[in-house]
Every structure is written in C-alpha cells, then in structure tokens.
Amino acid sequence: MLQAVTLSTNKQTTNLSRVEVRDSDKGEILESFILNPDGTPYDLTNKSLVFNENKDGNKFVSDDNVEIVDERIGHITYQLHDQVHSARGTAWFDIIDKSNGSKIDSTTDFYIEVRDSLKCTVYNTTYIADLEKLKQQMETLLKQADGELQAELQKAEQQLDQELQNFRNQYNSLSADFQNQFNAAQNARQQDYTNQKNAINQDWTNNKNQIWSQWNGDKANIDKQA
C-alpha cells in the first residue's frame, strides 16, 4: 500500500501532496483521508467518489472504483488502475451524491509521480471507467443478441423441419388413401368383369343347352316319322 495522503476540499491549498509509483507496479492501493475546508473529517454518508487524473500526453483517467472505508471520517482507498502507472499527472477525487448522481464537491489536487518512466511497461492511454462499463455492457448485449439470434435460427429450423415432416406425413397419408381407393376400384372393376364374364358364359351355356335340347327333340321326331 502506498503512503496515505490527506486531501482537503479547500481548493485554495497550495501545499499539494505527491504520490510516487513505479510504472512496473500494478494494483497498488492509495489510502486517503478527506477533510472539510476547516480541517474536520468530511462525512461521506450517502456519497461515492470518482478518481480523476490528467496525465502527460493529454490522456485522462476517470475511475469510480473507490472504496469508502469509514464514511464518518472520510477514510477511502483506491486501487490504482494500470493506466495511472503509465505516466505522471495531476489527480483529485470528485465527491458524488448517491441520491441523484450529481457532483457536489471535490478534493484539492495531488501529484502522481511515475518512476522508471524510461522502462515504461504500460502504454499511456485514456481510461474512463464509465465508458469501459458501457463497452462491456454493449459487448454483453451483442453476445446476448447473438445467442438469441442463434436460438431464433435454431427454432426456425426446427419449425421448418417439423413442417416438412408434417407435409411428408400428409403426403404419405394421401398416397396411401389414393392407393387404397385405386385398389378398391380395381377390385370392383375386376369383380364386375368377372360377373359379366360369368353371366355371358352362363347365357351361352343356357342357349347351347336349349339349342341342343331342341335339336335332339326334332331329331327324335324325324326318326319316328321315318
């Protein structure tokens, strides 16, 4: 943990604190005590804080990852973001009213000095926590949307497969009904043909027998007369 600093909300203070960090270090904790302009502890009840830093190279850090250790005495800690280690700058804390999210006060400035700058291991860039959160939210929404799209596509594919299967079932059912109707009609035609054939054969047999019987009777009469 870095050496604790005392920060007043009196912006007229000229004796500014200095905090030294190494560019190769990460995750260091800055402890601070916030004071009213009269030197009394600043009550942070229902407040939140945002760490801000103007860095060399026109880069900026804004991070709300500030923990209030004891709100009654203005005791806070802030874990420095990696970008704080990338270049020196001038920092301060904004004090936010939790009820409406508005800024109500700020501390005096303090300096961040970065040692071993010639061996910098972190690229100096801007970091704004709210924008990072928004970016993460957008990425989450995109992933969620992609997942929902995949689910919708899968659902549509399943519905199409079901409709195709229903069509196949209906086709097979209609085909079976048509085949049954065709077979029934074919059997009826065959039975009708057989019935007509049998009737013709029976008529021919009856006529033949009648003719034969008449011929035999005529032949018998002729024989008697002879």
Q: Kindly state the tokens that stand for 178.
A: 């048509």
| Range among 30-34, 79-83, 170-174 with highest mean pLDDT value | 30-34
For residue range 84-93, list pLDDT tens digits in order.
Answer: 988 899 999 9
Three-state DSSP class for residue 196: helix
For residue range 13-59, list pLDDT tens digits in order.
Answer: 888 999 998 877 788 999 999 999 999 999 999 999 999 999 988 88
Mean pLDDT of 210-216: 76
Cα 79 from Cα 26, distance rounded (Å): 9
pTM exceeds 0.85: no
- pLDDT at residue 164 above 80? no
Strands annotated E in 1-71: 5-8, 17-22, 29-35, 47-55, 59-63, 66-70
Q: Which residue matches tokens 């992933």?
A: 143
- pLDDT at residue 178 above 70? no
Q: Which residue did the predictor score with more confidence, 212 or 2? A: 2
